[in-house]
Amino acid sequence: MRQPSDADVIGRSLVEAEVFGLIYDRHAPTLLRFLGRRVGAEVAEGLLAEAFRIAFERRKAFDSGRESALPWLYGIASNLLLKHRRGEARRIRASARMAIGRAVADGRASAAAMEARVLLPRVAEALESLPDGEREALLLFAWEELSYQHVADALELPIGTVRSRLNRARARLRELLEASGKERVRSR
């Protein structure tokens, strides 16, 4: 028997609301993981509830041509994250410190540890300084491992715009990493 697609389920939920519970069962774990990565477990719980409330309210607008509802849900959750930029920045800086800690603890790879110590705080800083649209596209791509098409679906953008945002984000990161690298050299 063919599993009903998300589009089938959401369509059906227009007349039988409870079947939307299936969308929760299918995607809430992924979404909770996503939100947890971005703002930590505590805030993520509230945002998950908010995201599903919004999704349910907007289910009529779901594009029934799309098989999976996940990119759409990512988009809704991404929007909610905008209000939590500060907490997110703190979390990313802490993640950089932890990643350095891990690299340093692994004594055999001291070159890698050095590299981590220098680069990761800069990556954290650079991520923070990206415009919202670029950062969102970059993190959906790099952390959630969404395809270009799914990032485009999530952010409701043409795929070409996603491509150029990711290119810009990468270029900007590279630039910021190199610029701060030069400063270090100069200041020595």
Q: Which two tokens stand for residue 118?
A: 């220098």
Under the criterion CB under 8 A, does residue 20 sit at the interface with other proteins? yes
User: Which range touches other proteins (CB under 8 A), out of 19-27, 73-81, 146-154, 156-164?
Assistant: 19-27
Any alpha helices (H) in the chain, and if so which ranges? Answer: 6-13, 21-39, 41-57, 70-81, 85-105, 110-129, 132-142, 148-155, 159-187
Dist CA 164 CA 168 (whole Å):
6
Under the criterion CB under 8 A, does residue 157 sit at the interface with other proteins? no
Contact 124, 95 (CB under 8 A): yes
CA 10 to chain centre: 24
For residues 42 to 81, the per-residue mask of contacts with other proteins, x marking binding by CB under 8 A and - elsewhere, is --xx--xx--xx--x---xxxxxxx---------------
Selected binder of other proteins within 69, 81, 120, 155 (CB under 8 A): 120
Under the criterion CB under 8 A, does residue 167 sit at the interface with other proteins? no
Dist CA 32 CA 74 (whole Å):
10
Under the criterion CB under 8 A, does residue 148 sit at the interface with other proteins? no
Selected binder of other proteins within 54, 104, 118, 123 (CB under 8 A): 123
Dist CA 163 CA 144 (whole Å):
16
Selected binder of other proteins within 68, 104, 177, 180 (CB under 8 A): 177
Dist CA 26 CA 4 (whole Å):
12
Dist CA 148 CA 96 (whole Å):
26
Smallest distance from other proteins to CB 34, Å: 10
Under the criterion CB under 8 A, does residue 99 sit at the interface with other proteins? yes
Return residues touching other proteins (CB under 8 A).
7-8, 11-12, 14-18, 20-21, 24-25, 28-29, 32-33, 36-37, 40-41, 44-45, 48-49, 52-53, 56, 60-66, 91-92, 95-96, 98-99, 116, 119-120, 123-124, 127, 138-139, 141-143, 170, 173-174, 177-178
